[in-house]
Chain A
């Protein structure tokens, strides 16, 4: 079994109605992950509108991203392999709602 970090990314800001609707679906998805032993950490949502990027030279206002979508949250998931982790991510209602999920394996020695 390996651990993966799911980084949720989104380009647009949904309305509270949309957030409420997707929340209900996400809770079902999280429950399912937990029941099947895939959930290591729920993780946290991140503030979309505020952030700082710290570099040696300076500190700039963020949220900072190479692409136009912003990381809106993260979770830690356990899966058999990369393929299963990707399949779990694909079933996330956030994907259906237009978000992107970056699946990154946790590096182990």
Chain B
């Protein structure tokens, strides 16, 4: 068994979540140090002996023992989690208290607790996302910088500031209803952003698929914990599954971006789509309709159309109207305009594009001029289309987008 990078990241996240529980969220840095040492030691030993079968349990035991050492050594120097503070008074109570914190059921909750801890209301969303990526997904600052289109230094600062804020919080987060419910919205939003950065973001393809996979793993954690498994959480999970089902079709054999309407639908992942649709069904048990419900419903309609011609564009436009009423967003409006174009023709689509409010927020977004170009081309105005695609090319954020736009530019000459 050779652990790959993903596995390494997950083990690290699991260990940090467990130790943060032991030391208290205020001692996050200490938890990270102990995990770092545990992993370094493990990999050094395993270089000679190979990775043992039950490496995960072994790592947890090693981390537990290190935690005990650390607690004994620093019992007077630091403040730990309340349950540990009491147990620290005697060696008789310390070990049982630690053992209890490392029982499987407790460990399962640790990552969940960590997720809610990271979504602290005083932190900006980008910082919450960075923290989740760093602590719960084990990404290094350089990877997060690529995902968030920020410099590594900026991301490091973002994470350091966030950790500092957590360290000064008066008490740690508990999985009780009173703490839990008010923060659920924030957790959902962070997972939504995390997935979107993977799905629509501008970093390279490998990082992006990992982001989507991590968002789906974390949303499953929410689904497994009853108070978090609300209709909105189901809808969010449905949205992720339905979009992820299309991932294999988003790139062609050459690794180039393909527009939704041009994709080879036989390459879509049928099983993910089916799971997404069943999650969507379970999301409709309440009365609440969230943005996740509407966006999942749109993705569901796309997933259900086995051929492009079968797409229910009328329903999709209606859903976009609803989505825009719940949470206005220029990117959603852009997608709506393209749906309008499919339903009523390119001229209507162009008019819808003109009406987008907050167009200035789309400045710098290459798919806005690219969408215009597409519709101008379909209206039989290749020269206007060419100007739009030329602008889009200037804005393209990575090789994939550049190739995509270049192909559309070539199509202007062919028409």
Contact = CB atoms under 8 A, between A and B. Distances in A.
Nearest to A48: B44
Contacts of A51: none
Contacts of B8: 16-17, 20
Contacts of B140: 17
A75 B49 CA distance: 12
Interface string A29-71: 0100000000000111100000000000000000000000000
Contact of A45 (B5, B36, B48): B48
Interface string B330-364: 00000000000000000000000000000000000
B205 to A, nearest CB: 21
User: Which size class do B's interface residues fall under?
Assistant: 10 to 19
Contacts of A24: 2-3
B2 A27 contact: yes
A73 to B, nearest CB: 7
Contacts of A17: 8, 140
Interface string A2-44: 0000000000011111011111101100100000000000111
Given A15-B40, A16-B40, A27-B2, A22 B48 contact: no
A20 B138 CA distance: 14
Contacts of B413: none
A45 B44 contact: yes
Contacts of A73: 44, 47-48
A72 B43 CA distance: 13
B50 interface: yes
Contacts of A30: 48
- Summarize B's interface: helix, strand, loop or mixed: helix
A30 B51 CA distance: 13
A17 to B, nearest CB: 7
B65 to A, nearest CB: 16
Interface residues of A, number: 21
Residue from A14, A45, A72, A75 whose CB has the most chain B CB atoms within 10 Å: A45
A91 to B, nearest CB: 15
Contacts of B49: 42
B97 interface: no
A44 B48 contact: yes
A45 B3 contact: no
Given A17-B140, A20-B8, A26 B40 contact: no
Contact of B43 (A16, A44, A75): A16
B48 to A, nearest CB: 5
Contacts of B50: 27
Interface in B36-71: 36, 39-40, 43-51
A15 to B, nearest CB: 7
Contact of A22 (B5, B36, B47): B47
B48 A43 contact: yes
Interface string B220-245: 00000000000000000000000000
A45 B36 CA distance: 17
B47 A23 contact: yes
A20 B48 contact: no
A20 to B, nearest CB: 5
Contacts of A14: 40
A48 B46 CA distance: 15
Contacts of B51: 23, 27
Contacts of B46: 23, 27
B8 to A, nearest CB: 5
A54 to B, nearest CB: 24
A26 B2 CA distance: 11
A22 B5 CA distance: 12
A17 B4 CA distance: 10
A19 B44 CA distance: 7
Contact of B3 (A20, A44, A72, A75): A20
Given A24-B2, A27-B2, A27-B50, A19 B40 contact: yes
Contacts of A21: 5
Interface string A70-106: 0011010000000000000000000000000000000
A26 B47 contact: yes
3 nearest A-B residue pairs (beta carbon): A19-B43, A16-B39, A45-B44
Given A17-B8, A17-B140, A30-B48, 16 more contacts: A15-B40, A19-B40, A19-B43, A19-B44, A20-B5, A20-B8, A22-B43, A22-B47, A23-B44, A23-B51, A26-B47, A27-B51, A42-B48, A43-B48, A45-B48, A72-B44
Interface of A: 13-17, 19-24, 26-27, 30, 42-45, 72-73, 75
12 contacts: A15-B40, A16-B40, A19-B40, A20-B39, A23-B43, A23-B44, A23-B51, A24-B2, A45-B44, A45-B47, A45-B48, A73-B47
